[in-house]
Amino acid sequence: MASYKIQHRTRYAYAAPVIDCANQLMIYPLADERLTVKSHVVSISQYPDVALFTDYFGNQVGVFSIIQPHSELVIESRAEVETHAIQFPMDEADADTQWQHLAGLRTDMAFMDFLKPAHLEIENEIRQALGSVLTPGAKPLKQALELSEYVHDNFQYQQGVTNIETPLEDIWRLRAGVCQDFTLMLLYLLRLTGLPARYVSGYVCPRDENVRGTGATHAWVEVYVPFYGWLGLDPTNNCIVNDGHVRMAIGRNFADCTPVKGTYKGTGAHTLEVSVHIENGQPLPSDNLPDVPVYVQQSPTPIAPVNSYRKYLDWEQQQQQQQQ
């Protein structure tokens, strides 16, 4: 058993006051037989009421709105959890029996969403590449581990080269990205192979300095293993998920698991800062603030579209200036 104290802080700073801010939170640890949530408190700078509901995939979701003008929004989550080691698959059934079992899930409503790969123009190219990766006739678990290792070994962990809107084709060409990109790539490869796979967001808790993805939210994959259930695979760190990972949400892709998202009325210019501080049985900082944000995104004011009326106004203004 391992215990962790997790502080997750998200801050939006707007260039001018904004109004009618509506938000969705998916920052609630998923309690199950492997995760015990001892305490969890979410605080928001504007003190709105947060309504909670459970979505289609079993995630706890919070929603809130802020009507009055504000120039800053801070969302802070403080959780204390205990994790328990998993029981690894025995994988005793023969390969044919397991693949036949998976074939029967294609029409099962519980698995259909996790079996259909995205449509890519480069599907044939990717299938050809996998020909030298997968062991022919191997059991599903072995092929899943081979695919996870392939993504880890052939994609460079590099920040700043992708974003949440980067297409899979670009990730495949770049062969680089962060945990989200590694996860989306493995997700596609597993589904392409006929293995049910789902996206997971959460936290990876540091055991040593070589762990990738600390200091921010993390992402990994869960693959369905016949006669066992869902097993987590972390391609970013090339490991089977055990008691060092804490789940927040599961879904078909990133859009189903986004930790914080929302909309508002006002300027598009804003700065987003995200930081995660995790302690292994140690107290969190006394000043209630995590470390310096590891993720900072600045969005400038969008360029106004140019249309015929705007062109006319600009021309009229130029004429007036020339007459003066």
pLDDT tens sequence across 84-119? 999 999 988 999 999 999 999 999 999 999 999 999
> At CA 279, angle to CA 275 and CA 282, rounded to 5?
140
Average pLDDT score over residue span 179-204: 97
Quick check: 210 pLDDT over 90?
no
Average pLDDT score over residue span 216-245: 95
Quick check: 260 pLDDT over 90?
yes
**Would you state the pLDDT for residue 309?**
56
pLDDT band at 312 (very low <50, low <70, confident <90, very high): low
pLDDT band at 207 (very low <50, low <70, confident <90, very high): low
Average pLDDT score over residue span 192-197: 97
| Architecture in CATH of 2-83+259-299 | Sandwich (2.60)
Quick check: 320 pLDDT over 90?
no
Average pLDDT score over residue span 140-158: 97
Quick check: 264 pLDDT over 70?
yes
| DSSP assignment string, 169-201 | HHHHHHTEE-HHHHHHHHHHHHHHHT--EEEEE
Average pLDDT score over residue span 236-265: 95
Average pLDDT score over residue span 195-219: 83
Quick check: 235 pLDDT over 70?
yes
Average pLDDT score over residue span 204-210: 72
Q: List the structure tokens of 290.
A: 């995590």
**Would you state the pLDDT for residue 211?**
72
**Would you state the pLDDT for residue 305?**
54
Average pLDDT score over residue span 275-298: 63
Average pLDDT score over residue span 298-307: 57
**Would you state the pLDDT for residue 200?**
98
**Would you state the pLDDT for residue 303?**
52
With respect to CATH, is domain 95-242 assigned 3.10.620.30? yes
The answer to whether 138 and 91 are in contact (CB under 8 A) is no
287 vs 91, higher pLDDT:
91
Q: Which residue type is seen at 150? A: Y
**Would you state the pLDDT for residue 103?**
95
Count how many residues are written for the chain: 324
Strand partners, 29: none
* Structural element, H or E, at residue 318: helix 308-323
Mean pLDDT of the chain: 89
**Would you state the pLDDT for residue 76?**
96
Average pLDDT score over residue span 284-309: 55
Q: Domain residue spans in the chain? A: 2-83+259-299, 95-242
> Which runs of E-coded beta strand occur in 186-279?
197-204, 218-225, 229-234, 239-240, 245-251, 260-265, 270-279
Q: pLDDT above 90 covers what percent of the chain?
A: 77
Quick check: 191 pLDDT over 70?
yes
Average pLDDT score over residue span 139-166: 95
Quick check: 287 pLDDT over 90?
no
**Would you state the pLDDT for residue 66?**
96
The DSSP call for residue 32 is B
**Would you state the pLDDT for residue 280?**
81
Q: What is the pLDDT of residues 8-24, one digit of tens each?
A: 999 999 999 999 999 99
104 vs 164, higher pLDDT:
104
